[in-house]
């Protein structure tokens, strides 16, 4: 006969045969568990389904405890939360694997690189683009210009070369556009809330995209004639054709984002009025002012800010340069400047950099292509004076440097070689040593001494109630586009939470990671990275035509097939990682000896069991025994050395291939169906 009791204040109707877990599930109340499966007998191994019952001194396991009439059950008391968190931390303290591939973890925007690369391999190009859009809305543009930290972390380089992750992203976006099947943004119903964004660069566009998806009304204001920010006015056409950028901005506009150009904060629009007229304001102004080197002669005619020079080019001008041009700096902006100078007709172009090539922050491919185009690199030199005639620069004195001890960045600090200098004649200098924000029009009380906007790094809120900030204008200053995008992505979430009356802070999810060595990949066949077809150096030197033609479908799929699939195949269904983040775990407090086995166990040649991911919940062998009626799996050893043991006779291979219920039941991805034996990744 049924009876009633309460769980977290909700009345629950239960039958005499019910457990607290089963009746809670019927009532739509989730209680975490790893070892429970309704197909098997109650086991109670994982210890994470604990609940507290008023009047009962000890915590009860919901999977086995029978409720009684009038029970008052609590699933989220501090005592329950502590016990569950401890249980998960103990399980994870001996759990080895890769929740996500290192490519995703090294992407500031946490783009699921492994997923979209796999979708490209399978020819599912629209799905690949959708995967990128879950992280940010500019795949074709960022795929062309990103210095791809994802590739720096790619383990394929332990075999030969990293996967061309960035170009594959651009390929997929170009492909669906060429096929007439562009991405369409799906938005939630209107919330009636209004957000103003100042700045239409990668940060502003990204935030607008996510806020529109949340259902808010969004208006972007930008001082330039067109949206795009640094992507339009800081990156030359040969790297990022503006037609590509235009089509991606159009996708955001078509989602309902209003875009207003040619308006400057503090001049055409008032900061306080924006705050009053909108429910929230996001400042994403970027960093548009070139930094000075503070050396004599910087005020001479012919000494230009690098970003100012590129901005003029983006506005449609064709800046006039002399025959001899020097670029100061070692980042990607410096590479854009020197390569642009070549295209504008300069006969001698130098890059002056105070460290060696190994320390240059610019992408290797940018350096290589600049050298191919005739740029001369003067490493270990630093300008100490610009001198001129009749007010125009005619030369520069360089201090010869050497590398000393590492500085805070980890790079060896350049120090002057006493008494050793060098002079070179020049007609123009492009200063590309960094950029800073210009926050004219922004309330002074939210500015730092550096001129950036002070905001909380977890909520992106400033000290002004409804004002947020993201991108190059925030605490850390200027960085690469994908870093600004990552901040905007998180800021949009925090703004949405704020508009819903919540204060949820953006946080980095917990992931299980593992270290690998090249020896683990010695058995992998070598497969060279696909080379992107494009213009020759001679063809590149005198025009701004795009230098790359793009992958063919066949090239893209071959390149994608090189992926080692480092991340867990079962991530999206893994209950262990979902609950780990639910309880904000820190397994390091239980650090100690961990299992690390050389190979995976092969179950009937169609299933692989990874003991380092196994939490000994028992579901695999209990399902095999109690539901299927077989005893192909069991346990062997005792205590810390206990392990699932495959005991499958050879004649059962075909049976296992058609069953796979153990794989289906596994809550952590330790069981996987696979056609052939491979070494552990």
pLDDT above 70: residue 604: no
What percentage of the chain exceeds 90 in pLDDT? Answer: 75
With bands split at pLDDT 50, 70 and 90, how would you rate the model's confidence at 634?
Answer: confident
Same domain, 609 and 655: yes
Number of domains in the chain: 5
| Rounded Cα gap, residues 26 and 20, in angstroms | 10
Same domain, 416 and 463: no
Long-range residue pairs from 46-52, CB within 8 A, at least 24 positions apart, any chain: 46/87, 46/91, 46/615, 46/617, 47/83, 47/87, 48/84, 48/87, 48/88, 48/579, 49/21, 50/80, 50/83, 50/84, 50/87, 51/7, 51/20, 51/75, 51/80, 52/77, 52/79, 52/80
Same domain, 305 and 422: yes
* Residue ending a domain, choose from 419, 435, 451: 435
pLDDT in tens, 85-113: 999 999 998 888 899 999 999 999 999 99
Is residue 308 in a domain? yes
Is residue 584 in a domain? no
| Rounded Cα gap, residues 175 and 128, in angstroms | 11
Cα 149 to chain centroid, rounded: 9
Q: Within 58-201, where are the H helices?
A: 78-92, 102-106, 113-121, 125-133, 139-145, 149-153, 165-178
| Rounded Cα gap, residues 109 and 120, in angstroms | 20
Is residue 567 in a domain? no
Q: DSSP letter at 340? A: H
**Can you say whether residue 77 is alpha, beta or left, with left for phi > 0 and alpha for psi between -120 and 50 degrees?**
beta
Q: Are 7 and 20 in contact (CB under 8 A)?
A: yes
Q: What is the CATH number of the domain that holds 200?
A: 3.50.50.60
The pLDDT mean for the chain works out to 92
For residue 577, the SS3 value is: helix
* Rounded average pLDDT over 515-529: 90
Same domain, 461 and 536: no
Q: What is the CATH number of the domain that holds 663?
A: 3.30.70.20
pLDDT above 80: residue 639: no
**N-term to C-term CA, the chain:** 53
User: Given this model, what pLDDT does residue 676 score?
Assistant: 39
pLDDT in tens, 260-312: 999 999 899 999 999 999 999 999 999 988 898 999 999 999 999 999 999 99
Is residue 17 in a domain? yes
Q: Are 527 and 562 in contact (CB under 8 A)?
A: yes
pLDDT in tens, 192-215: 999 999 999 999 999 999 999 999
**Can you say whether residue 363 is alpha, beta or left, with left for phi > 0 and alpha for psi between -120 and 50 degrees?**
beta
| Rounded Cα gap, residues 54 and 59, in angstroms | 10
Same domain, 86 and 112: no
Same domain, 636 and 606: yes
User: Given this model, what pLDDT does residue 679 score?
Assistant: 34
User: Given this model, what pLDDT does residue 603 score?
Assistant: 63
| Residue 155 or 632, more confident | 155
Q: Which residues are 401's β-sheet partners?
A: 416
Same domain, 488 and 545: no
292 closest CA partner among 283, 300, 280, 282: 300
Same domain, 13 and 71: yes
Is residue 189 in a domain? no
* Residue ending a domain, choose from 381, 401, 435: 435
Same domain, 444 and 428: no
User: Given this model, what pLDDT does residue 678 score?
Assistant: 40
What percentage of the chain exceeds 70 in pLDDT? Answer: 97
Is residue 581 in a domain? no
pLDDT in tens, 239-251: 999 999 999 999 9
Q: Which residues are 416's β-sheet partners?
A: 401
Same domain, 337 and 256: no
pLDDT above 60: residue 677: no
For residue 511, the SS3 value is: coil
Q: What is the CATH number of the domain that holds 8?
A: 3.10.20.740
User: Given this model, what pLDDT does residue 591 score?
Assistant: 79
Q: Which residues contact residue 641 at a Cβ distance below 8 angstroms, ignoring those fewer than 6 apart?
A: none
Q: DSSP letter at 160? A: S
| Rounded Cα gap, residues 44 and 139, in angstroms | 46
Is residue 568 in a domain? no
* Rounded average pLDDT over 399-421: 89
* Residue ending a domain, choose from 475, 499, 523: 499
pLDDT in tens, 23-40: 999 999 999 999 999 899
| Residue 107 or 645, more confident | 107
| Rounded Cα gap, residues 223 and 358, in angstroms | 38
Cα 505 to chain centroid, rounded: 17
| Rounded Cα gap, residues 411 and 30, in angstroms | 50
Is residue 473 in a domain? yes
Q: Which residues are 573's β-sheet partners?
A: none
Q: Are 95 and 580 in contact (CB under 8 A)?
A: no
Q: Nearest 5 degrees, angle CA 69-CA 75-CA 77?
A: 115
Q: Is 292 exposed, middle or buried (0-12, 13-18, 19+ CB in 10 A)?
A: middle
* Distinct helix (H) and strand (E) counts, the chain: 22, 25
pLDDT above 70: residue 450: yes
Domain limits for position 669 = 595-673
pLDDT in tens, 350-380: 999 999 999 999 999 999 999 999 999 999 9
Same domain, 123 and 255: no
Same domain, 422 and 325: yes
User: Given this model, what pLDDT does residue 505 score?
Assistant: 75
65 closest CA partner among 127, 108, 14, 135: 14
Q: Which residues contact residue 157 at a Cβ distance below 8 angstroms, ignoring those fewer than 6 apart?
A: none
């Amino acid at each position: 006969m049924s009876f009633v009791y309460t769980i977290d204040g909700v009345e629950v109707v239960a039958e005499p045969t019910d457990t607290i877990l089963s009746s809670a599930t019927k009532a739509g109340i989730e209680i975490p568990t790893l070892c429970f499966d309704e197909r098997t007998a109650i086991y109670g191994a994982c210890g994470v389904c604990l609940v507290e019952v008023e009047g009962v001194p000890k915590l009860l396991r919901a999977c086995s405890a029978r409720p009684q009439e009038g029970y008052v059950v609590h699933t989220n008391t501090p005592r329950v939360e502590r016990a569950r968190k401890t249980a998960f931390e103990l399980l994870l303290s001996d759990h080895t694997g890769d929740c996500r591939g290192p490519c995703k973890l090294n992407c500031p925007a946490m783009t699921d690189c492994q997923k979209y690369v796999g979708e490209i391999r399978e020819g599912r190009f629209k799905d690949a683009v959708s995967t990128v859009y879950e992280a940010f809305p500019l795949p074709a543009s960022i795929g062309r210009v990103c210095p791809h930290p994802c590739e720096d972390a790619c383990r394929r380089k332990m075999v030969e070369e990293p996967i061309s992750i960035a170009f594959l992203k651009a390929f997929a976006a170009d492909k669906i556009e060429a096929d007439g099947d562009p991405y369409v943004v799906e938005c939630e119903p209107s919330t009636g809330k209004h957000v103003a964004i100042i700045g239409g660069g990668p940060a502003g566009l990204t935030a607008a995209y996510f806020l529109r998806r949340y259902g808010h009304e969004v208006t972007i204001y930008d001082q330039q004639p067109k949206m795009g920010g640094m992507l339009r006015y800081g990156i030359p056409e040969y790297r990022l054709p503006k037609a590509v950028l235009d089509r991606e901005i159009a996708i955001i506009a078509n989602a309902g984002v209003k875009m207003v150009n040619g308006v400057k904060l503090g001049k055409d629009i008032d900061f306080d009025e924006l705050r009053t007229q909108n429910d929230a304001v996001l400042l994403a102004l970027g960093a548009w002012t070139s930094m000075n080197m503070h050396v004599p002669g910087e005020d001479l005619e012919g000494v230009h800010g690098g970003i100012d020079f590129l901005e003029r080019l983006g506005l449609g001008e064709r800046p006039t340069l002399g025959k001899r041009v020097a670029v100061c700096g070692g980042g990607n902006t410096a590479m854009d400047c020197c390569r642009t100078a070549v295209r504008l007709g300069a006969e001698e172009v130098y890059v002056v950099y105070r460290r060696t090539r190994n320390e240059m922050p610019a992408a290797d491919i940018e350096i290589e292509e600049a050298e191919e185009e005739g740029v001369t690199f003067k490493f270990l030199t630093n300008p100490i004076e610009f001198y001129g005639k009749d007010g125009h620069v005619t030369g520069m004195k360089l201090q010869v440097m050497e590398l000393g001890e590492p500085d805070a960045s980890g790079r060896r600090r350049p120090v002057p070689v006493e008494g050793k200098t060098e002079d070179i004649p020049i007609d123009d200098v492009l200063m590309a040593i960094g950029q800073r924000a210009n926050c004219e029009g922004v309330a002074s009380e939210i500015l730092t001494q550096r001129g950036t906007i002070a905001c909380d790094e977890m909520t992106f809120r400033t000290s002004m109630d409804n004002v947020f900030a993201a991108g190059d204008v925030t605490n850390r200053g200027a960085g690469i586009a994908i870093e600004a995008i990552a901040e905007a992505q998180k800021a949009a979430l925090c703004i949405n939470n704020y508009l819903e009356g919540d204060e949820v802070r953006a946080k980095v999810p917990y992931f299980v990671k593992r270290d690998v060595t090249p020896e683990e990949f010695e058995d992998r066949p070598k497969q060279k990275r696909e080379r992107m077809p494009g213009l020759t150096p001679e063809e590149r030197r005198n025009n701004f035509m795009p230098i790359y033609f793009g992958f063919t479908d066949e090239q893209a799929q071959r390149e994608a097939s090189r992926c080692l699939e480092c991340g867990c195949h079962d991530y999206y269904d893994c209950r262990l990682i979902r609950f780990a983040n639910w309880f904000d775990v820190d397994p390091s407090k239980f650090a100690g000896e961990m299992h690390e086995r050389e190979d995976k166990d092969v179950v009937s040649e169609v299933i692989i069991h990874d003991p380092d991911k196994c939490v000994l919940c028992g579901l695999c062998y209990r399902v095999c025994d109690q539901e299927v009626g077989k005893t192909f799996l069991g346990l062997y050893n005792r205590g810390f050395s206990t392990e699932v043991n495959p005991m499958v006779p050879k004649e059962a291979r075909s049976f296992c291939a058609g069953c796979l219920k153990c794989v289906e039941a596994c809550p952590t991805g330790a069981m996987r169906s696979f056609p052939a034996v491979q070494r552990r990744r």
